[in-house]
């Protein structure tokens, strides 16, 4: 019933994934009862419409030959995925609870366990594995070792004949990145042309594509807006599966889950996927599983704020940054310029057991003095400071597209004789992992005059700004208008930062 399934199956059909075999446990029961209640569609018909081959095992309870035959047939269909509908009885064997929703998610209870043992002629005590069953299954140990040994021998031959490809495949298998890979990332300076971080992201992705053999990914029909095409590769399609640009179509949730599959297939496969930042709402389930299952998927999320302008509030993220800062094991990056974007990518690639989200701008941003790749690794760091004893008059902190606003405000305050520190808080999770000494060096306890500015929810900023500081942000939905107008009307301006500072 879940929509994500249709998204993924539509792609599997389109891609002709002939070695994907799905068993549909057709037991007519879900938690609320018989599927008659809410699920009466023709499932096989739907899968056929999606380009799948379909089979039906009518007796999944003890039709063993039927099951065998179906799997054999599915394996012989090489140009389409196969869906085998297997009609079973849920809780088969339980005389009173089989075929009811009660057996779906609750223990049988002692008397029903008794009754089931009697019903199936199973006189053994709990956890007993009969000898003949044990010995039958034990053949898998030598068999499995033999399978792998055969493969090792084959790979040794492969290494002899095709040493370069073997080395590449090996690095994908082990996850070991090529030496010096990070040097391929573009080196930005303040002289580099100003650009939206979504474009800088494309430059980073294309630089990495040359040196990271397992990098593969794409967008949910927004490649030309997310800027995620790898120019040196073609599209992964049914007839060109060796290519690395994956076209997911407007299927965000399916895309996220497919990337989890790619990431968990082999350590050296590094999938990235992209859409508008607001549409993380459509794939949050998969993102949480990325975090929980330690799948280092890279989520490239552009159009990250009111900065996208006229598309309006349905497209403008507000609560999204803080919602991902709240998600365990998820790295939420919001780079301000080229150096920080490169830094974010470096960390995203390094973190194979933590997924990363990069929130990127639609609008052009300047390259700022003081930003650095190393700073990004610390999560929050000082990019400018004219104080001398770790006691600036003001600390202004920000992320992404608002850092330039913080810098402007700092310049003004400095002109008036104040000492101001500007902190870029590109990744909260990494900052929180730093030593107390480091944190004190960035946010000294003694300095309470702190101001934050970000084009998003103010929730969460209090932890860095403190009770004596001021948070500037947006706690309501956005608006449909040109971006500069929205920034002004919503008070995300240097003037407001200055006014806030002076009020402290």
Partner 1 sequence: MATPTPTPTSPASITASGGRGGFLLARARVAPGGRWAVRAQPAAAELVERSVNTIRFLAVDAVEKAKSGHPGLPMGCAPLGHVLFDEFLRFNPANHAWFDRDRFVLSAGHGCMLHYALLHLAGYQGVTIDDLKAFRQWGSRTPGHPENFETDGVEVTTGPLGQGFANAVGLALAEKHLAARFNKPDLTVVDHYTYVILGDGCQMEGVANEAASLAGHWGLGKLIAFYDDNHISIDGSTAIAFTEDVLARYEALGWHTIWVQNGNTGYDDIRAAIKEAKEVKDKPTLIKVTTTIGYGSPNKASTHSVHGSALGSKEVEATRKNLSWAHEPFHVPDEVKRYSVVPVELKLQNFKVITNKLFCCEEIQTCSSSLGSSSGCCILHSV
Binding test (CB under 8 A) with partner 1, winner from 65, 165, 480, 495:
480
| Site for partner 1 contains 284 (CB under 8 A) | no
Give CA–CA dist 409/148, Å, rounded: 63
Number of residues near partner 1 (by CB under 8 A): 58
Subset of 168-227 contacting partner 1 (CB under 8 A) = 219, 221-225
Let me know if 252 is a catalytic residue.
yes
- Binding window for partner 1 (CB under 8 A); candidates: 82-90, 131-139, 148-156, 273-281: 273-281
Cα end-to-end span (Å), the chain? 55
Question: Cα 214 from chain centroid?
Answer: 16
| Site for partner 1 contains 81 (CB under 8 A) | no
**Rg of the chain's alpha carbons, rounded to an integer?**
28
| Site for partner 1 contains 235 (CB under 8 A) | yes
The residues, any chain, with a CB within 8 Å of residue 133's CB and separated by 6 or more, are none
The least distance separating partner 1 from the CB of residue 200, rounded to whole angstroms, comes to 21
- Binding window for partner 1 (CB under 8 A); candidates: 63-71, 87-95, 367-375, 474-482: 474-482
Cα-based distances in Å from 482 to 196, 227, 309, 456: 16, 21, 5, 17
CB 99 within 8 Å of CB 87: no
| Complex with partner 1: residue 188 or 487, whichever CB lies closer | 487
| Site for partner 1 contains 248 (CB under 8 A) | yes
Q: What is the DSSP letter of 124?
A: P
Residue from 149, 213, 210, 216 nearest 185 by CA: 210
Give CA–CA dist 19/81, Å, rounded: 6
CB 241 within 8 Å of CB 297: no
Binding test (CB under 8 A) with partner 1, winner from 19, 32, 34, 39:
39
- Binding window for partner 1 (CB under 8 A); candidates: 103-111, 114-122, 312-320, 372-380: 312-320
Residue from 390, 407, 404, 398 nearest 442 by CA: 390
Residue from 504, 396, 503 nearest 442 by CA: 396
| Complex with partner 1: residue 259 or 395, whichever CB lies closer | 259
The least distance separating partner 1 from the CB of residue 238, rounded to whole angstroms, comes to 9
| Site for partner 1 contains 51 (CB under 8 A) | yes
Catalytically annotated residue among 7, 66, 112, 252: 252
The least distance separating partner 1 from the CB of residue 366, rounded to whole angstroms, comes to 23
Residue from 186, 239, 241 nearest 211 by CA: 186
Residues engaged in binding partner 1 (CB under 8 A): 1-7, 10-11, 13-14, 38-46, 48-51, 219, 221-225, 235, 237, 247-254, 278-279, 281-282, 309-315, 479-482, 485-486, 489
Catalytic positions, written as ranges: 252
């Amino acid at each position: 019933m879940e929509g994500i399934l249709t998204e993924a199956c539509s792609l599997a059909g389109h891609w002709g994934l002939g070695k994907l075999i799905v068993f549909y446990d057709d037991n007519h029961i879900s938690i609320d009862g018989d599927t008659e209640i809410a699920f009466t569609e023709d499932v096989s018909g739907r899968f056929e419409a999606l380009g799948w081959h379909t089979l039906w095992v009518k007796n999944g309870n003890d039709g063993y030959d039927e099951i065998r035959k179906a799997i054999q047939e599915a394996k012989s269909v090489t140009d389409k995925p196969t869906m085998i509908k297997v009609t079973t009885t849920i809780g088969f064997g339980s005389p009173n609870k089989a075929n009811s929703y009660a057996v779906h998610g609750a223990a049988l209870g002692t008397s029903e366990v008794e009754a089931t043992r009697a019903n199936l002629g199973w006189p053994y005590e709990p956890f007993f594995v009969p000898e003949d069953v044990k010995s039958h299954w034990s053949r898998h140990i030598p068999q499995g070792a033999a399978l792998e040994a055969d493969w090792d021998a084959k790979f040794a031959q492969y290494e002899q004949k095709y040493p370069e490809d073997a080395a590449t495949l090996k690095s994908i298998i082990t996850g070991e990145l090529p030496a010096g890979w990070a040097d391929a990332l573009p080196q930005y300076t303040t002289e580099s042309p100003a650009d939206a971080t979504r474009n800088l992201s494309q430059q980073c992705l294309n630089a990495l594509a040359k040196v990271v053999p397992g990098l593969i990914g794409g967008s949910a029909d927004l490649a030309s807006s997310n800027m995620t095409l790898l120019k040196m590769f073609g599209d992964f399609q049914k007839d060109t599966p060796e290519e690395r640009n994956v076209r997911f179509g407007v299927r965000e949730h399916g895309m996220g889950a497919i990337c989890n599959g790619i990431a968990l297939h082999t350590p050296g496969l590094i999938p990235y996927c992209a859409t508008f930042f607001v549409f993380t709402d459509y794939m949050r389930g998969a993102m949480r599983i990325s975090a929980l299952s330690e799948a280092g998927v890279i989520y490239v999320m552009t159009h990250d704020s009111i900065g996208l302008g006229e598309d309006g509030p349905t497209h403008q993220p507000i609560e999204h940054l803080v919602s991902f800062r709240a998600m365990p094991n998820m790295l939420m990056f919001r780079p301000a310029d080229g150096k920080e974007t490169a830094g974010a990518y470096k960390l995203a690639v390094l973190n194979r057991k933590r997924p990363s989200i990069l929130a990127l701008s639609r609008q052009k941003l300047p390259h700022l003095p003081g930003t650095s790749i190393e700073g990004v690794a610390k999560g929050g760091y000082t990019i400018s400071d004219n104080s001398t004893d770790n006691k600036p008059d003001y600390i202004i902190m920000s992320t992404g597209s608002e850092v330039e606003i913080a810098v402007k405000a700092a310049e003004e305050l400095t002109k008036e004789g104040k000492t101001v520190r500007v902190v870029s808080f590109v990744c909260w999770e990494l900052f929180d992992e730093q030593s107390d000494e480091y944190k004190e060096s960035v946010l000294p306890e003694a300095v309470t005059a702190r101001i934050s500015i970000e084009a998003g929810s103010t929730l969460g900023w209090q932890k860095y700004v403190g009770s004596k500081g001021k948070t500037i942000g947006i706690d309501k939905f956005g608006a449909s208008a040109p971006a500069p107008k929205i920034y002004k009307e919503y008070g995300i301006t240097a003037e407001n930062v200055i006014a806030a500072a002076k009020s402290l």
